[in-house]
């Protein structure tokens, strides 16, 4: 018997549309798997079983009456626990923040429900979305499904969303990305994850970390499935990724000029680029206008100062109840003033202009997603946040980017490659990402 939870979204959608499977049956299968596996993977913080069943019954009635809403009709979707869902609380991964019950859905959730998606639950996350390892000592750390022997970090801050999809607990999930928080868990769990252009996707009723950086993004097992969710999120009518009918000129970021990273990551990135050249992709050298140390120091001010504005009172009143890493980061960020942040926003505007000039004649950029393969939980240093080294630059320079699964390693982990595009070139990034995903399919890491 085929495992329905591992169907692709198109397969599941077609089975529902044609009546091969009912929405109710489909939802029940996913709920059973969540009930069986969630204690191990720790992906979901809350599961909305009764609501999902009621919604499934309603959607089955619609199909019986000739109404099919589209490719998300009856498809279960998980939502990060910093996004409002009507009649539920969103604490942003905290035990210290009140779970105020939302009186309405966030606009992005309403769009997905209108498209026929079934919101099946809230997922675990790094507290306040303020960290990249995916850890949370307050509410628990989800387990990376790519390693059943060791507890490896799931990547964050959308840790539970990434784990839920990778473990087959749900086909699709929403995360949020402030400095890589969709792309990092996508990379760590062998998924596709997209950071849209700022302003494209509604971000109302989202617990903020840094409002000008925060964006909601989709996560899925493939680029094509990611598109299905993104299309509904952005109110697009295209059911499949638009085809780019011209030869693209793609920059290959100079890793050595940007920073110093794992030899395995650098070798895998070079191998991927060689494979793409062999497939006819036009690759040219590219350098960012700044190095990693500067990106990290400038984003630390912008994100940290705003994080203290939002959560500083909790730090002052109940520090013992916070995640240890988040406690440290908030405490450290207290040194940044509003004036510091105001000055840094002006510097950022200059760098965005420089990047726009630097990308003239370049359609997209390739870059690894993670600087290292996801380590074991007992190997990490909580106070460091290296997993965002290669992703924060996208948010800082106001770009869009996709994390695309790449080589499989001997341990069963996956390398990941970022496809980075100019602000507003989301469709182009999807088109190129799909091409790259196909070109790298089956590629193994060379020792």
Residue 411: pLDDT band (50, 70, 90) is very high
The pLDDT score that the predictor gives to residue 392 is: 97
The answer to whether 112 and 306 have CB atoms below 8 angstroms apart is no
Asked if residue 329 has pLDDT above 90, the reply is: yes
Q: Would you name the residues annotated as active-site residues?
A: 80, 157, 181
How far apart CA 355 and CA 42 sit, in angstroms, is: 40
Percent of the chain residues topping a pLDDT of 70: 100
- pLDDT recorded at residue 385: 66
Per-residue pLDDT at 1: 54
- Average pLDDT of span 294-300: 97
CA distances from 321 to 106, 108, 315, 352 (A): 27, 30, 9, 38
Give the mean pLDDT of 394-411. Answer: 98
Query: Residue 367: in which H helix or E strand, if any?
Result: strand 364-368
Q: Is the pLDDT of residue 30 over 60?
A: yes
Mean pLDDT confidence for 34-38: 99
Helices 23-41 & 49-64 angle (0-180, nearest 10): 160
Domains and CATH numbers, the chain: 4-233 (3.90.1300.10), 249-292+339-440 (3.90.1300.10)
Q: What pLDDT, on a 0 to 100 scale, did the predictor assign at position 239?
A: 81
Percent of the chain at pLDDT above 90?
93
Average pLDDT rounded to a whole number, residues 318-326: 96
The confidence band for 2, taking pLDDT boundaries of 50, 70 and 90, is confident
pLDDT of residue 189: 99
- pLDDT for 381 beyond 90: no
Asked if 27 and 121 count as a contact pair (C-beta separation under 8 A), the reply is no
- 186-245 pLDDT, tens digit per residue, is 999 999 999 999 999 999 999 999 999 999 999 999 999 999 999 999 998 888 898 888
Per-residue pLDDT reduced to its tens digit, 150-172: 999 999 999 999 999 999 999 99
What mean pLDDT is predicted for residues 100-122? 98
CA 325 – CA 156 distance, rounded (Å): 12
Q: Round to whole Å and give the CA distance between 383 and 326.
A: 9
How far is 52 from 124, CA to CA, in rounded Å?
A: 19
């Amino acid at each position: 018997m085929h495992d329905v939870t591992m169907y692709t979204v198109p397969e599941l959608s077609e089975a529902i549309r044609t009546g091969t499977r009912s929405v109710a049956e489909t939802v029940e299968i996913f709920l059973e798997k969540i009930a069986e596996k969630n204690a191990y993977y720790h992906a979901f913080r809350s599961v909305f079983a009764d609501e999902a069943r009621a919604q499934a019954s309603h959607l089955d009635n619609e199909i019986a009456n000739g109404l099919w809403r589209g490719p998300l009709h009856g498809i279960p979707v998980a939502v990060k626990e910093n996004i409002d869902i009507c009649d539920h609380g969103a604490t942003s991964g905290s035990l210290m923040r009140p779970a105020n019950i939302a009186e309405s859905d966030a606009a992005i959730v309403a769009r997905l429900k209108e498209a026929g998606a079934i919101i099946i639950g809230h997922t675990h996350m790094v507290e306040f979305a303020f960290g990249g390892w995916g850890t949370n000592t307050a509410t628990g750390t989800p387990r990376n499904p790519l390693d059943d022997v060791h507890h490896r970090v799931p990547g964050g801050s959308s840790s539970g969303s990434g784990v839920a999809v990778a473990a087959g607990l749900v086909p699709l999930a929403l995360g949020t990305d402030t400095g890589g928080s969709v792309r990092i868990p996508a990379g760590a769990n062998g998924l596709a994850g997209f950071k849209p252009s700022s302003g494209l996707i509604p971000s109302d009723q989202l617990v903020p970390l840094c409002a000008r950086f925060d964006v909601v993004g989709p996560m899925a097992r493939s680029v094509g499935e990611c598109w299905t969710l993104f299309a509904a999120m952005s109110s697009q009518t295209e059911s499949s990724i638009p085809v780019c009918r011209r030869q693209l000129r793609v920059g290959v970021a100079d890793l050595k000029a940007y920073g110093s990273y794992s030899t395995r990551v650098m070798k895998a990135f070079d191998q991927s680029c060689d494979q793409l050249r062999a497939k006819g992709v036009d690759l040219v050298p590219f350098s960012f206008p700044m190095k990693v140390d500067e990106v990290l120091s400038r984003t630390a001010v912008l994100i940290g100062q705003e994080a203290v504005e939002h959560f500083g009172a909790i730090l002052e009143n109940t520090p013992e109840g916070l995640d240890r890493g988040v406690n440290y980061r908030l405490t450290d960020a207290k040194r940044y003033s509003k004036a510091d942040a105001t000055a840094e926003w002006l510097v950022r505007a200059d760098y965005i202009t420089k990047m726009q000039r630097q990308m003239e004649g370049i359609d997209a950029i390739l870059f690894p997603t993670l600087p290292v393969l996801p380590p074991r939980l007992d190997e990490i240093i909580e106070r460091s946040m290296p997993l965002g080294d290669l992703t924060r630059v996208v948010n800082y320079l106001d770009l869009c980017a996709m994390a695309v699964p790449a080589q499989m390693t001997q341990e069963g982990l996956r390398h990941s490659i970022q496809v980075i595009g100019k602000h507003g070139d989301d469709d182009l990034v999807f088109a190129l990402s799909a091409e790259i995903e196909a070109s790298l399919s089956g590629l193994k890491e060379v020792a």
